[in-house]
Structure 1
Amino acid sequence: MRGKTFFVLIAIAVAYILGARAGRERYEQLVDTVQSFWNAPDVKKARKKAKAQAAKARKRLS
């Protein structure tokens, strides 16, 4: 029984380590994708336009 328990614990540890590595790589990939989207020239232009429109709307409400 102890041998099976030990084997199961080792298998869980190995799976955790491999999963954590794969998870980190996927996380980094997602971060890179989001950053490249956020910093794209068209998106920057749209953010600037939205900010200006929000400022205009704020002035009208005041």
Structure 2
Amino acid sequence: MRPKFLVILVIAALAYVLGARAGRERYDQIEKAVTSFWNDPTVKKARAEAKKDADKARKAVKKKAKQLR
């Protein structure tokens, strides 16, 4: 067994145990925090800008790839 795989397996087991100990209440609390962060207007704006920039970059790469052919 590879050491990297073993480390991942240990981390997954540890995360499972800690998650099971935290319980449903903590899960709901974390879910609420993540949802409120994701729906924050500032975050929504940043996501939209990132998408716009990614689309621009995709178009530029596509154009450059056509030139190289």
The RMSD of aligned alpha carbons is 1.6
Partner of 2:49: 49
TM-score (norm 2): 0.58
Please state how far the C-alpha of 1:53 moved relative to its aligned partner: 0.1
Residue identity opposite 1:29 in structure 2: Q
Q: Distance in 2 between matches of 1:35 and 1:27?
A: 12
Partner of 1:38: 38
- Say which one has the larger Rg: 1
Residue identity opposite 2:59 in structure 1: K
Partner of 2:59: 59
Please state how far the C-alpha of 1:26 moved relative to its aligned partner: 0.3
TM-score (norm 1): 0.65
Higher relative contact order structure (alpha carbons within 8 Å, sequence separation ≥ 6): 1
Q: How many residues align?
A: 43
Segments of 5+ residues of structure 1 without an aligned counterpart are: 1-19
